[in-house]
Amino acid sequence: MEIKIVVGAGEYNNNPEWIHTQENELNLLDISIWKKRFDENTITAILAEQVWEHLTYEEGVQAAKICYKYLKTSGYIRCAVPDGFFPDETYQNVIKVGGPGPKDHPAASHKIVYNYKTLSDMFQNAGFEVKLLEYHDKEGNFHYNEWDGKQGVIFRSKHYDPRNKDGRLVFPSLIVDAIKI
């Protein structure tokens, strides 16, 4: 049996066959909760959409190391975060550290804005091999590498977010697969 987990699932259920968890059920930084729920080297996949930006870089490395322990070899984290290189001023204002306004805004607890380099480095520091799926480079050019939604749907993506249609990206994510080697 494959164990596939969505961390910080929110109200979304884009991956109905997966185990959906909230922070209070499976905190990325609390290894004692992981120990109670899972055996090491047993999880096939972890999906984290719009989660890692709520951790500092150091917390992100710590969380990735915990996930690494529980993933099988060749298991992966599919991670999507706001893209720090997306060249849109309104978007960047919404995703910035601390968010754009009220404390109840989802971005109010953002602690970091990643770009493909910093997110890749963070996962590599935890021992993962990183495959870039969707991202913007420093010049603002969009890059896309085919990925299969059967391995974890990311709603805020080129194909799944209805705001991103007709070849125009309105709300993209930086998406990677971090693979346990």
Domain covering 3-84+113-180 in this structure, CATH number? 3.40.50.150
Output the pLDDT for position 103: 84
Output the pLDDT for position 9: 82
Cα angle at 76 between 155 and 112, to 5 degrees? 60
Output the pLDDT for position 127: 98
pTM value is: 0.96
pLDDT tens per residue, the chain (181 residues)? 899 999 998 777 789 899 999 999 999 999 999 999 999 999 999 999 999 999 999 999 999 999 999 999 999 999 999 999 999 999 999 999 999 888 888 899 999 999 999 999 999 999 999 999 999 999 999 999 999 999 999 999 999 999 998 889 999 999 999 999 9
Phi-psi region of 179 (alpha: psi -120 to 50; beta: other; left: phi over 0): beta
Kindly give, in sequence order, each residue whose CB lies less than 8 Å from that of residue 156, ignoring residues fewer than 6 positions away: 49, 50, 80, 171, 172, 173
**Which residue do the tokens 């969505």 mark?**
6
Q: Across-strand partners of 177?
A: 78, 131
Output the pLDDT for position 171: 93
Domain spans of the chain, in order of start: 3-84+113-180
Q: Which 3-state string (H, E, C) describes the chain?
A: CCEEEEECCCCCCCCCCCEECCCCCCCCCCHHHHHHHCCCCCEEEEEEECCHHHCCHHHHHHHHHHHHHHEEEEEEEEEEECCCCCCCHHHHHHHCCCCCCCCCCHHHHCCCCCCHHHHHHHHHHCCEEEEEEEEECCCCCEEECCCCHHHCCCCCCCCCCCCCCCCCCCCCCEEEEEEEC
